[in-house]
Each structure stands twice: as structure tokens, then as C-alpha cells.
């Protein structure tokens, strides 16, 4: 894309052309390269603010000096390189920006007073911005630069050398430990948000974020940057409000090396991952207790917050600056907004002399895509914040909703209307601009409110054989032999396990001896004492019944298959020598010819089941998610349930459903749910596996996106407050 230039001459040139302007003498200048192009960064050491200039603009700014007017400097630039020289409109805009940033002084007598006035206005703007961002205001507490400097002098050479190797070894060791103890980690995560863990996890959050900010500050100081501010951020959108530390490392923006800027931006995550790895290594060696729980909290907080927030480039956290430097796109967010405005003005309004902030087609695409994604993510974030707070405090949540709606919707819309009504760019084109904008808004509203789009929802569940029988122990006994290996095909009545119970054998021997004694006694009484014979015969009959009972108990020591199918033992690796209590489940035998997916439906989605609005369904199983199986028929059980069909669906089994931590089996759900049994299509049985967990997607009638979002919001109200 050819770079679009502002026009050479301007009607407003007389306002600046005759003045003498120059940079303030204390301004520092750094050179940086973005996409092979040389840029210059102006740094104000007093405010730690930065201003980037491209080569042509810097050549003009570098020539500004006392006693020489702006007109003369501009003429010098034209004589040296007319192609690179900025146009008069560009010069006016550049001087205005430098003036507002308090980076220049001029030969005007009141300019000294204006410097302080501009400083005062900038501070007022900063305070106004703090109060507008009331959800997370910042407060400076101290200057950590002196002690960070002393620490960097001692640790700096070690950190960038052997420290990197130690970090890699510890993080890999921690990752290997986490994978080897994944089941225990997931089981511990079930109690992460219990009331008794709230205070410890808040303390851990503050600790890990302090380590995070310390990482930013130390690496920045090791590379020669300054860290003039240390303070706290109050996160008011959490209840109770959380206080998190921060350090000002904006001096790294002036680093000439791209890789040093990337290291500073990622320094917090580097330190947090190191902390998480150390916590995991120690956690694996400890027994149950408060220390093990705190280490688990450190692991979760250090990794989850980093992955969900810090590394996210759509938020202005570490990921944003990493992406900006990686793509060589400085000021990514503001330039993305400028790119969208340029597209609006040039493509929709057809305004002349619009300046494209992008330098090439590839950069234009990056900026436009980022601007749209950031806007959409902001809408998602609004909904998530409202949902989070409203779930705890009904009144505050909706006051927050109103404030966010004003700040993030009403005010931007008002600013856009002000642009349409008052912008000088739209002079003699205002009517057309308003008509085109109105048409675009009408088309957009029509699309989201009238155009049907696919609609569906997902639910977790487990695949079970339609025909299966549990195998229970009929008597107490120790497992002495596993006759049929788990996973093998068996026939009805085939012996699966052989148990041993010494008491049963002894009782059989006792009853046999007693029967022999009573038989001899009966034979003698038939010829000697006829009157005592009935009592002996009655005792003999009772002994024979007792022998029959104990023989049946002995037969029950051979655990047999209740049906033809596949025999699967519970904990087959640990059955040898184990004591099994009567009535205890030992496993199951299932028929692999037909499968049913048992889905757990949340209450907020159950209305689709009652209204019979499900069009079709598809099941995908974990470990084989690329394959989908169509559902032939559904069976909805219209009653609330609490017991999960499999422990694999709950937190203790690595699933997504919250379960009662007091339930040792991990089957009792924290919230009641509805169940759907989906019978899969025939012909795919050979690829299915009994008790494999997965997801089912229910396809619903198409509906415009506006009504889908509105329904989701109403479901949130119903779920949180039963409205």
C-alpha cells in the first residue's frame, strides 16, 4: 500500500510558521527499529513519558532550534529531501502533539507559564482518568529505583547468564511434577473456592503479583531502565476489593533492543512461572496440611492469572506489550483505533486527504483486526464483570452495570455523535456523513435483530453401554485370584474372582460335624429312646439348613458374571489380597453393542428440553474429539437430579462440574441438574468406549444474535437471583 501523505500546504500555516520552537534541552532521544524502519523515541525524564517519531518527522524536529522559525526549518527539510519532508498539516499536528506532551518550548513570552499550565492540565487529566477507571485506580506509594539499582548491580550479570539455565531446569522439573501428579492437583482444585480458602487465596494472590511486579522491575533495572514508581491497584470489581502491587517500568519503552523490551514485558510471567514450579516441586513432597494447600494455591494463582490475564494481548497487560514489540507495532491500541477511524472516514464517508496510520497492507490488516477483536472482547468483559459481581451482591452488580454502560457505551456513542455534529472534517459533508452512518447503524441493528444464526449449547456427559450390570460381592472375603482379567469378554455365570473367607470354611466343617453327630444320635434313639427322637430330628434339620446356608456362602466366594459381555474390574491393579465387603461394587459387565450418552444439563439450559426445541445432537469424546457421532433419539428425564452418572464429570475426577467436597465418591453435584440420555447411531460401536467422558452439542432452531444474547442475560439473572 502506498503511504498516503498529508497535503503539502495548509491554510493554518500562518499560525505556527513564524514562531521559533525547539525541544526542551532535557529531553532524551532513543533510536529504535520497527519492521526495518528507523524510529526515534523522545523521553521526558521527569514524567517518564515517551513520544515516537518516524524518520521524516524526526528530521524536522531535530532541526528545531532557537532563533530559527518553523517556516525556515520546514524549507530546510524540503531542500534536503522533498519526498521525506512532512507536509504543513503534518507539521501543525506534530507541533500540537509535542506541545500537549510538554516536550517543546517556544519564543513566546508566556511559554514558561504555559509549561506549568500544561503540566497541571495533564495531571488533572491523569486524575480524571483514574476516577473514570474507578474499577482499578492506581496509587503511588514509593520510589523503588535505588534499591532495585543496588540489587541489579549484584544480580544482573547472574540473572542473564546462569539464572536463565536454572530457570529452565526448575520450570521443566515443575511441569514434569505437575503432569505426574495431575490427578491429585485436580482433586485439590475442588476445594479451591471453599469459604475457608478465601483468605489464603487472597494472600497468595497479593504475594504472587508482588513477585510478578518485582520481576518486571528487576529485569528493567538490569538493562539500565528506571523504575520510579511502586504502588497499589485497588480492584473494586471484586468483593471484597483486592489490593495488588504495581511497578512503573515504562522506561523500557526507550530501549533500543527489541529483545530487551520483550524481556521486561515478560519478566513478571518469568518470575511467576518460576515461583509456580518451585511450589509444585515442594507440594509434591509434603503431606496433607495447610502448607500443602497454600502451595497449591500458589501454583493455581501463578499459572491461571498469567494465562487468562497477563498473556492476553486484548488487555493492556504484559501480552499486549509483548505482541506490540513482537509485531513491531508501537502504540498498537491507539493506532488500531486510528486505523478503524481512517477506514470509516476514507471508505464510508469518502473524505479527502485522510492519512492512513498503517505503513503497508499487512500492518493495516493487523491494526484493523486487533481493533475489532479488542472492541468485541470489551463487550465480553463487561458481561463477565457484571456476572461476577452480580452473583455476589445483587444491588452493587446492577449499579456497576449502569456505570459501565455509561462509561463504555453511552460516552463513546456521545463522542461519536459529537464528531458527526461538530468535526471540521465534515464541513459541507455533514449531511452525507450522518446519512451514511445512520444507514450503517440501521443495517447493523437489522442484522443482529433479524438475521437468523446457528444456535446450540453444549453439555458434558459420559458414554455408557445401554446394557450393563454391576458386579457386587455376596459375602465378605479377601481376593485370592482374579480368574478373568479385566477387559476380557466373559459369559454369563463365568467365574470372575475367587475370594477366601476362613470363617465360612470353618462354619461348613462345624455344621458337617454336627450333622454327623446328630445322625448317629438319631439312629440310636430310634431303638432306645423313642420319645427324644423328635427333638433330635428337629436339630438335625436345622443343622442341614445351616450347612446349606454356609455352602451357598462358600459358593458366593466365586464371583460370577451376571451376563455376557466385557468384564471391567474396579481398581483391577489393587484387587489382589484386598478385603471386599458384602455389597461392595467390584466392577461391571457390559454389552458393547449399543451405547447411550448420559448428558448433564444445567438448569439454565433445561428450558430447551421442556420446550422440545432440540433439532439434533452430536457427541464428541475426549481423546477422540475430531470424530463426532450423531444422536438417533433423546430421552429426557423431567426431574432434578444431584448424583452424577460418573465421577469423571466432577472436579474430583478432572471434570468441569462442581461437586460436594464432603462426598467421598465425588458423585454429588453442588447444583442440581437435569439428565438427557442420547442414544447414538448404529454402526459406530467399534470406535466407542464405555465410560469415556465427552460433550454433546444440542442444535437448536436458528435465531438472531440479539435475541440469543438477551436470552443468555435473562438466564444469568435467573441463575444468580431467580428473577
- The shares of helix, strand and coil residues in the chain, as percent rounded to the nearest 5, are 55, 20, 25
Q: What pLDDT sits at residue 274?
A: 92
Q: Which pLDDT tens digit goes with each residue over 72-86?
A: 888 888 888 777 788
Q: What pLDDT sits at residue 534?
A: 79
DSSP category for residue 465: E
Instruction: State how far Cα 598 lies from the chain centre.
Output: 27
Q: What pLDDT sits at residue 62?
A: 87
In the predicted model, is pLDDT for residue 180 greater than 80?
A: yes
Q: What pLDDT sits at residue 277?
A: 92
Provide mean pLDDT across the span 692-703. 86
Question: Cβ distance 188 to 296 under 8 Å?
Answer: yes
In the predicted model, is pLDDT for residue 707 greater than 60?
A: yes
Distance CA 678, CA 564 (A): 24
Q: Which pLDDT tens digit goes with each residue over 365-410?
A: 989 999 889 888 877 777 776 666 555 555 555 666 677 677 777 8
For all residues of the chain together, what is the average pLDDT?
80
Q: What are phi and psi of 560, to 5 degrees?
A: -110, 160
Question: Cβ distance 225 to 696 under 8 Å?
Answer: no
Question: Cβ distance 200 to 294 under 8 Å?
Answer: yes
Q: Which pLDDT tens digit goes with each residue over 49-72?
A: 788 888 888 888 888 888 888 888
In the predicted model, is pLDDT for residue 590 greater than 70?
A: yes
Q: What pLDDT sits at residue 699?
A: 86
Provide mean pLDDT across the span 635-656. 79
Region for residue 353 given its phi and psi (left: phi exceeds 0; alpha: psi -120 to 50; beta: otherwise): left
Burial class (CB in 10 A: 0-12, 13-18, 19+), 707: middle
Q: Which pLDDT tens digit goes with each residue over 189-221?
A: 766 666 677 788 888 888 898 999 999 999 998
Helix axes of 361-390 and 332-343: crossing angle, nearest 10 degrees: 110
Burial class (CB in 10 A: 0-12, 13-18, 19+), 723: exposed
Percentage, residues of the chain above pLDDT 70: 85
Q: Which pLDDT tens digit goes with each residue over 459-497?
A: 888 888 888 888 888 888 888 888 888 888 899 989 888
Q: Which residues contact 228 (CB under 8 A, 6 or more apart)?
A: 48, 143, 145, 248, 251
- Indicate the SS3 state at residue 469: strand
What pTM, to 2 d.p., does this model score?
0.62
- Given pLDDT bands bounded at 50, 70 and 90, which one contains residue 113? very low
Q: What pLDDT sits at residue 173?
A: 93
In the predicted model, is pLDDT for residue 658 greater than 80?
A: no
Distance CA 252, CA 262 (A): 9
In the predicted model, is pLDDT for residue 158 greater than 90?
A: no
Q: Between 187 and 312, where is the model more confident?
A: 312
Question: Cβ distance 587 to 567 under 8 Å?
Answer: yes
Q: What pLDDT sits at residue 160?
A: 67
Closest CA to 228 of 212, 209, 248, 246: 248
Question: Cβ distance 258 to 325 under 8 Å?
Answer: yes
- Given pLDDT bands bounded at 50, 70 and 90, which one contains residue 4? very low
The most confident of the ranges 27-36, 213-222, 667-676 is: 213-222
Distance CA 8, CA 219 (A): 45
Q: What are phi and psi of 14, to 5 degrees?
A: -65, -20
Percentage, residues of the chain above pLDDT 90: 4
DSSP category for residue 239: S
Angle at 241 between CA 239 and CA 242, to 5 degrees: 120
Question: Cβ distance 498 to 480 under 8 Å?
Answer: yes
- Given pLDDT bands bounded at 50, 70 and 90, which one contains residue 278? very high
In the predicted model, is pLDDT for residue 172 greater than 90?
A: yes
Burial pattern 552-589, b for ≥16 Cβ within 10 A else e, equals ebbebbbbbbbbebbbbbeeeeebeeeebeeeeebbbb
Instruction: Tell me the β-bridge partners of 498.
Output: 481, 558
Q: What is the DSSP string of 164-233?
A: HHHHHHHHHHHHHHHHHTHHHHHHHHTTTTSGGGHHHHHHHHHHHHHHHHHHHHHHHHHTT-----EEEE
In the predicted model, is pLDDT for residue 574 greater than 70?
A: no
Amino acid at each position: 500500500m502506498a503511504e498516503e501523505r498529508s497535503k503539502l500546504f495548509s491554510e493554518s500555516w500562518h499560525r505556527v510558521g513564524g514562531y521559533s520552537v525547539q525541544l526542551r534541552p532535557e529531553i532524551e532521544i532513543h533510536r529504535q527499529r520497527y519492521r526495518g524502519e528507523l524510529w526515534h523515541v523522545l523521553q521526558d525524564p521527569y514524567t517518564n513519558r515517551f513520544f515516537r517519531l518516524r524518520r521524516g518527522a524526526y528530521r524536522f524536529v531535530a532541526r528545531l532550534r532557537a532563533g530559527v522559525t518553523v517556516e525556515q526549518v520546514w524549507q530546510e527539510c524540503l531542500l534536503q529531501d522533498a519526498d521525506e519532508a512532512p507536509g504543513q498539516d503534518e507539521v501543525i499536528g506534530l507541533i500540537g502533539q509535542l506541545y500537549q506532551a510538554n516536550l517543546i518550548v517556544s519564543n513566546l513570552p508566556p511559554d514558561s507559564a504555559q509549561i506549568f499550565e500544561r503540566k497541571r492540565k495533564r495531571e488533572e487529566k491523569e486524575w480524571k482518568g483514574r476516577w473514570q477507571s474507578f474499577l482499578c485506580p492506581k496509587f503511588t506509594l514509593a520510589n523503588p529505583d535505588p534499591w532495585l539499582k543496588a540489587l541489579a548491580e549484584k544480580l544482573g550479570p547472574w540473572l542473564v547468564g546462569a539464572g536463565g539455565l536454572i530457570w529452565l531446569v526448575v520450570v521443566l522439573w515443575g511441569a514434569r511434577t505437575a503432569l505426574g501428579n495431575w490427578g491429585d492437583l485436580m482433586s485439590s482444585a475442588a476445594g479451591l473456592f471453599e469459604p475457608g480458602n478465601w483468605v489464603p487465596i487472597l494472600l497468595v494472590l497479593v504475594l504472587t503479583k508482588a513477585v510478578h511486579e518485582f520481576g518486571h522491575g528487576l529485569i528493567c533495572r538490569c538493562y539500565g531502565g528506571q523504575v520510579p514508581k511502586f504502588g497499589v491497584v485497588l480492584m473494586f470489581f471484586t468483593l471484597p476489593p483486592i489490593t495488588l502491587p504495581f511497578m512503573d517500568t515504562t522506561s523500557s519503552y526507550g530501549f533500543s533492543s527489541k529483545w530487551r523490551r520483550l524481556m521486561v514485558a515478560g519478566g513478571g510471567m518469568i518470575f511467576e512461572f518460576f515461583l509456580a514450579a518451585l511450589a509444585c516441586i515442594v507440594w509434591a513432597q509434603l503431606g496433607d496440611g495447610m502448607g500443602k494447600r497454600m502451595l497449591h494455591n500458589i501454583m493455581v494463582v501463578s499459572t491461571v492469572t498469567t494465562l487468562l490475564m497477563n498473556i492476553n494481548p486484548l488487555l493492556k497487560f504484559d501480552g499486549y506489550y509483548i505482541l506490540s514489540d513482537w509485531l513491531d507495532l508501537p502504540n498498537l491500541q491507539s493506532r488500531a483505533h486510528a486505523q478503524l477511524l481512517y477506514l470509516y472516514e476514507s471508505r464510508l464517508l469518502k473524505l479527502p486527504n485522510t492519512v492512513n496510520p498503517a505503513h503497508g497492507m499487512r500492518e493495516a490488516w493487523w491494526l484493523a483486526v486487533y481493533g475489532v477483536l479488542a472492541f468485541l472482547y470489551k463487550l465480553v468483559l463487561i458481561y463477565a464483570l457484571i456476572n461476577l459481581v452480580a452473583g455476589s451482591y445483587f444491588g452493587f452488580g446492577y449499579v456497576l452495570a449502569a456505570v459501565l454502560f455509561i462509561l463504555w457505551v453511552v460516552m463513546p456513542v456521545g463522542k461519536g455523535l459529537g464528531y458527526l455534529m461538530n468535526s471540521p472534517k465534515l464541513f459541507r459533508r455533514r449531511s452525507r456523513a450522518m446519512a451514511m452512518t445512520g444507514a450503517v447503524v440501521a443495517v447493523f441493528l437489522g442484522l443482529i435483530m433479524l438475521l437468523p444464526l446457528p444456535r446450540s449449547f453444549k453439555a458434558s456427559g459420559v458414554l455408557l453401554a445401554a446394557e450393563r450390570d454391576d458386579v457386587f460381592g455376596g459375602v465378605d472375603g479377601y481376593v485370592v485370584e482374579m480368574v478373568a482379567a479385566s477387559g476380557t469378554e466373559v459369559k454369563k455365570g463365568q467365574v470372575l474372582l475367587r475370594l477366601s473367607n476362613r470363617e465360612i470354611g470353618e462354619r461348613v466343617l462345624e455344621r458337617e460335624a454336627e450333622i454327623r453327630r446328630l445322625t448317629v444320635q438319631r439312629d440310636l434313639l430310634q431303638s432306645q429312646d423313642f420319645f427324644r427322637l423328635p427333638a433330635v430330628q428337629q436339630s438335625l434339620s436345622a443343622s442341614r439348613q445351616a450347612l446349606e446356608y454356609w455352602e451357598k456362602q462358600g459358593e458366593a466366594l466365586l464371583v460370577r458374571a451376571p451376563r455376557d459381555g466385557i468384564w471391567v474390574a474396579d481398581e483391577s491393579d489393587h484387587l489382589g489380597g484386598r478385603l471386599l465387603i458384602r455389597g461392595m461394587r467390584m466392577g461391571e459387565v457390559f454389552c458393547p453393542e449399543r451405547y447411550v450418552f448420559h448428558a448433564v444439563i444445567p438448569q439454565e439450559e433445561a428450558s430447551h428440553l421442556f420446550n422440545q426445541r432440540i433439532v439434533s445432537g452430536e457427541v464428541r469424546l475426549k481423546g477422540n474429539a475430531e470424530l463426532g457421532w450423531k444422536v438417533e433419539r433423546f430421552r429426557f428425564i423431567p426431574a432434578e437430579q444431584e448424583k452424577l452418572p460418573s465421577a469423571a464429570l466432577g472436579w474430583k475426577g478432572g471434570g468441569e462440574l462442581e461437586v460436594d467436597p464432603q462426598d467421598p465418591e465425588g458423585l454429588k453435584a453442588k447444583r442440581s441438574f437435569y439428565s438427557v440420555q442420547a442414544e447414538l447411531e448404529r454402526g459406530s460401536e467399534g470406535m466407542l468406549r464405555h465410560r469415556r467422558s465427552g460433550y454433546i452439542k444440542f442444535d437448536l432452531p436458528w435465531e438472531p444474535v440479539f435475541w440469543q444474547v438477551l436470552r443468555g442475560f435473562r438466564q444469568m439473572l435467573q441463575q444468580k437471583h431467580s428473577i
